[in-house]
Structure 1
Amino acid sequence: MAKEKKAAPNRPLAESLEAILDEEDDGLACHL
């Protein structure tokens, strides 16, 4: 889902932060 959010360059700041959090969650999940 994070990749889909990246596709929207004009997304609101809130969604930008949410996308970053999603990426961090994905990264942590990969390490588990």
Structure 2
Amino acid sequence: MRGRKSSRAPIYQGEPGYSTKLDRDKDGIACDK
């Protein structure tokens, strides 16, 4: 597994670190703008 270049990169549903608490708009992508 490759590391993330930025701590602000989106986390997709099913990836380690994904949480519904981080997915404000419930689109399966956490930490997106």
State the TM-score bracket (shorter-chain normalisation): under 0.3
Structure 2-normalised TM-score?
Answer: 0.22
Report the structure number with the largest CA radius of gyration. 1
Structure 1-normalised TM-score?
Answer: 0.22
Structure with the largest fraction of helix: 1
